[in-house]
Amino acid sequence: MSFFGNASGNNSKSKNREKYKELTLGIKQTVLERSKNRCQSCSKKLSGSNQPQFQHINGSKKDNRPENLRALCSECFGDNAPKENNFVLSSIKNIFSKK
User: Can you tell me the distance from the alpha carbon of 35 to that of 70, in angstroms, rounded to the nearest whole number?
Assistant: 8
State the Rg of the chain over Cα: 19
Which amino acid would we find at residue 65? R
State the total domains in the chain: 1
Q: Is residue 35 pLDDT above 90, yes or no? A: yes
- Is the separation of the CB atoms in 69 and 46 below 8 Å? no
CATH number of the domain within which 69 lies: 3.40.1800
User: Can you tell me the distance from the alpha carbon of 39 to that of 51, in angstroms, rounded to the nearest whole number?
Assistant: 10
Q: Give the residue numbers spanning the domain of 88.
A: 23-92
- Is the separation of the CB atoms in 19 and 38 below 8 Å? no
7 lies in a domain? Answer: no
Residue-wise pLDDT for 38-90, tens only, equals: 999 999 999 888 899 999 999 899 999 999 999 999 999 987 765 545 555 56
